[in-house]
Structure 1
Amino acid sequence: MSDFTNKVVVITGGSEGIGKALVDAFLYQGAKVATCGRNYDKLYHLQASYPGKPFMIHTADVSKEQESKSFIDAVVKNFGTIDILINNAGVSMRAMVQDVELETIRKVMDVNFWGTVSCTKFALPHILKNKGTIVGVSSIAGFRGLPGRSGYSASKYAVNGFLEALRTELLHSGVNVMWVCPGFTASNIRNAALNKDGQAQGESPMDEKKMMTAEECARHILKAISKRKRTLVLTFRGKETVFLNRFLPSLADKLVHRFFFKNGRLVK
């Protein structure tokens, strides 16, 4: 028996990356898992790898309020309740503010922020009843604005603020609200990141092999949920960035610029 045996766990964006690693980890721990994504084929193949397991999939784009509601309604119809909601679905971007189309930033905000808000809102009555957990998979970019990721940083700051407000509202309810801020984690998020025109850039400017794996990230998240933590900041570089930005912000500006730029050009 684990802390998650027979718990109903809802994970948005579970077809790949950290979301898929979370699906794998919770099913292994004996939870009942529901996930959604926009690509039915990826979801279908994921479900097919767990025959006989209490695992449901649902095609949904969480940037659309009605699709978020339909997903949550389907989970409750199938499993009867929700104990844990992990708002993991997200999209990044890579473009300078002077070049980016505003629609690109809107797309990022719609998925990362409004997707978190709508799924949380619709799942909240069930989580309140169970004194469960709400998690937002945020980012170091939610503590420190990153060049080339203005819309992404804004969306993650918004997620952190929304969840902090919600946590305070629910302080004596028995519900735990937590936001998780991975550092650079090996996943598809940089390949799928939107360019200035709002299209997937199709490549990663980073060395993915040197990053924390999605599976390791998922293990940290499960442990933090079990301990009902408030926040989780991962990787040494991530913790260092948050620390420097809080106490030495001008130095953080210079170090972040040095990391992302070379000869005045955004290279990461």
Structure 2
Amino acid sequence: MQNIENKVAYITGGSKGIGFGIAKILVENGLKVAISGRNLDDLQEAQAVLGEDNLLVFQSDVINFEDEVNSVKRVIERFGKLDVVIANAGVGKFAPVDEISLDDWNAMIATNLTGVFHTLKASVEELKKSKGYYISIASLAGTNFFAGGAGYNASKFGVVGFTQAAMLDLRKHDIKCTTIMPGSVTSNFADHVPSDSDAWKIQPSDLGEMVIHLLQMNANVLPSKIEVRPSKTS
């Protein structure tokens, strides 16, 4: 089992939902964690819960490559290295393909797909140094298409393909790459407000524990693509 204490992780979209749930579990397991997001108020609320000792919080928009370059620089300045990158930031806009707006399409491709590339591109040289781990948060929508999901499906199918190709490119540098594809998760995604009715869903902390298991695995083992569903339906 790999020792993960004092490893440094950077999580995009880490102020709430899946990103926050992963960040909380990582901090509880002794990692130093940086989280970014677009909304300063959400980031400050996350910091109030997670504490400050092993946490770095800052604004970044994954659509802008220079934001991600600066994000990695801030992580290195604070913690001195970067071992784990979790590309989690995402948006969802749902409409039939003949009705979806250009703005909504472009927002999903820019954030969900190009943003994932920006995060890896900005961090890959540091991951080479640390022989680190890159994890993208995709979705079961990255393999299962559905009506009204043309834009979201396109972005998440892209994330799955991108991460699997990156895995083949980067393993020669001893960098691991995994994409996690969750089904229904209790989160704030698409403006959802979590409630007791979400108890049957995957919890963000469940995905955090999954990340811990990945990081602890023998260096010779790589689950490159993980589909995860609730064990029961509503």
Q: TM-score, normalised by structure 2?
A: 0.90
Q: Which runs of 5+ in 2 are unaligned?
A: none
Which structure's relative contact order is higher, taking Cα pairs within 8 Å and 6+ residues apart? Answer: 2
**Aligned ranges for residues 135-150 of structure 1 at < 5 Å?**
135-150=135-150
One of 219, 233, 236 as aligned partner of 2:227: 233
Distance of 1:221 and 1:55 partners within structure 2: 17
Residues 95, 148 of structure 2: 8 Å contact kept: yes
Distance of 2:2 and 2:199 partners within structure 1: 31
**Partner amino acid for 2:58?**
H
Distance of 2:141 and 2:168 partners within structure 1: 22
**Which SS does the other structure have where 2:36 is aligned?**
strand
Deviation, structure 1 residue 3: 2.9
Distance of 1:20 and 1:148 partners within structure 2: 28
**Which SS does the other structure have where 1:172 is aligned?**
helix
Residues 11, 34 of structure 1: 8 Å contact kept: yes
One of 189, 203, 212 as aligned partner of 2:202: 212
**Aligned ranges for residues 41-60 of structure 1 at < 5 Å?**
41-60=41-60
Residues 24, 50 of structure 2: 8 Å contact kept: no
Change (3 A) 1:237 1:63: farther
**Partner amino acid for 2:46?**
L
**Partner amino acid for 1:43?**
L
Deviation, structure 1 residue 33: 0.4
Distance of 1:222 and 1:41 partners within structure 2: 28
**Aligned ranges for residues 1-268 of structure 1 at < 5 Å?**
3-191=3-191, 208-227=198-217, 228-235=222-229
Distance of 1:68 and 1:141 partners within structure 2: 25
Deviation, structure 1 residue 237: 7.4
Q: TM-score, normalised by structure 1?
A: 0.79
Distance of 1:53 and 1:4 partners within structure 2: 17
**Structure index of larger Rg:** 1
Q: Deviations over 1:31-86 (max 9, x none)?
A: 11001001111111221234452100011111122212221221112212210000
What's the C-alpha RMSD, in Å, of the aligned pairs? 2.1
Farther off after superposition, 224-233 or 180-189? 224-233
Distance of 1:100 and 1:160 partners within structure 2: 22
Q: Deviations over 1:115-164 (max 9, x none)?
A: 11011011000101111100000000111222212111111111111111
Q: Percent identity?
A: 27
**Which SS does the other structure have where 1:232 is aligned?**
strand
Distance of 2:29 and 2:202 partners within structure 1: 22
Change (3 A) 1:97 1:158: same
Q: Deviations over 1:6-36 (max 9, x none)?
A: 1010000011111001110110111110010
